[in-house]
């Protein structure tokens, strides 16, 4: 039987004994977490499975488990180590007895509780949730009621009425402007388009411009513009641009 390969199934560890030792020595596992009694029971059970007593295994196990117990004791009572080391054997025995008695009493108390729990199994009661925690109050900066009312009034105001006037535009006939420009040219040799239509609405101006293009297409007028966006000069065809011409002369 090889002690190192003893398989353990403890609360804090599951695996072979030698891995447990390695983890403890590397301090990756707390000795306090390990239930030593469970290791001893596992070993004794394995031992009992065999017909003959393996003294060599027992010896090895004793050495290892003793070392582990010492490790655990040191971990559990780090501060008391020095204090306990100074105790006389009699005092140490007394201390041990005191502690054992303390633990024994707690063990008995645990047994009493277990018995009590079993006896109370048929007592059912409602376990309510914890009392509702008071809600956190959201604190706002101090507000002026008048200002708040004014802001609300602004929000409550109906939006301005949208104008739909452009949806029903009335276009004057192009012919109206054809006649008008022909009449002007009968009276004068040339005129300034912008000055002629300046007092009209945008729609009328647009229709007047169409009439202008119409007259130009039919060769009834000549058009002249000194630069983009400068006034459009309208004249009878064949009329030379005179030196006396001044913008907006009409």
8 A C-beta contact, residue 23 and residue 33: no
What does the radius of gyration of the chain's CA atoms come to, in whole angstroms?
56
The values of phi and psi at residue 14, to 5°, are: -140, 120
Question: Residue from 9, 11, 137, 144 that binds other proteins (CB under 8 A)?
Answer: 11
Quick one: which segment of 26-34, 187-195, 196-204, 220-228 binds other proteins (CB under 8 A)? 26-34
One DSSP character per residue, 2-15 reads -GGG-EEE-SS-EE
**246 touches other proteins (CB under 8 A):** no
**66 touches other proteins (CB under 8 A):** no
The values of phi and psi at residue 137, to 5°, are: -85, 125
Nearest approach, Cβ of 24 to other proteins (angstroms)? 13
**149 touches other proteins (CB under 8 A):** no
Question: Residue from 122, 144, 157, 244 that binds other proteins (CB under 8 A)?
Answer: 122
**133 touches other proteins (CB under 8 A):** no
Q: Which is nearer to other proteins, 74 or 241 (CB)?
A: 74
Q: Which is nearer to other proteins, 73 or 206 (CB)?
A: 73
The values of phi and psi at residue 57, to 5°, are: -65, -40
Quick one: which segment of 27-35, 43-51, 204-212, 217-225 binds other proteins (CB under 8 A)? 27-35
Dihedral of the alpha carbons of 192, 194, 198, 202, in degrees to the nearest 10: 140
Quick one: which segment of 46-54, 103-111, 222-230, 233-241 binds other proteins (CB under 8 A)? 103-111
- Rounded-to-integer distance, Cα 101 and Cα 157, Å: 85
The values of phi and psi at residue 128, to 5°, are: -80, 165
DSSP label of 162: P
Please give the residue ranges that form the binding site for other proteins (CB under 8 A): 11, 30, 32-33, 35, 76-77, 93-94, 96-114, 116-117, 119-129, 131
């Amino acid at each position: 039987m090889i002690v190192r390969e003893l398989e353990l199934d403890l609360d804090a560890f599951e695996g072979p004994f030698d891995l447990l030792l390695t983890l403890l020595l590397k301090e990756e596992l707390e000795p306090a977490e390990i239930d030593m009694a469970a290791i001893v029971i596992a070993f004794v059970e394995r031992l009992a499975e065999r017909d003959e007593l393996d003294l060599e295994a027992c010896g090895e196990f004793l050495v290892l488990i003793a070392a582990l117990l010492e490790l655990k004791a040191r971990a559990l009572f780090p501060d008391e180590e020095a204090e306990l080391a100074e105790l006389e054997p009699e005092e140490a025995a007394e201390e041990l007895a005191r502690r054992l008695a303390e633990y024994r009493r707690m063990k008995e108390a645990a047994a009493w509780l277990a018995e009590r729990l079993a006896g109370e199994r048929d007592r059912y009661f409602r376990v309510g949730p914890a009392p509702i925690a008071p809600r956190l109050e959201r604190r706002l900066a101090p507000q002026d009621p008048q200002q708040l009312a004014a802001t609300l009034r602004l929000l409550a105001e109906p939006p301005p009425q949208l104008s739909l006037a452009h949806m029903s535009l009335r276009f004057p006939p192009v012919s109206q402007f054809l006649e008008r420009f022909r009449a002007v040219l009968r009276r004068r040799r040339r005129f300034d388009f912008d000055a002629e239509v300046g007092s009209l609405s945008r729609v009328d101006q647009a229709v007047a411009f169409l009439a202008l293009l119409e007259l130009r297409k039919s060769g009834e007028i000549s058009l002249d513009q000194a630069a983009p966006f400068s006034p459009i000069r309208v004249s009878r065809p064949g009329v030379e641009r005179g030196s006396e011409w001044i913008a907006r002369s009409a």
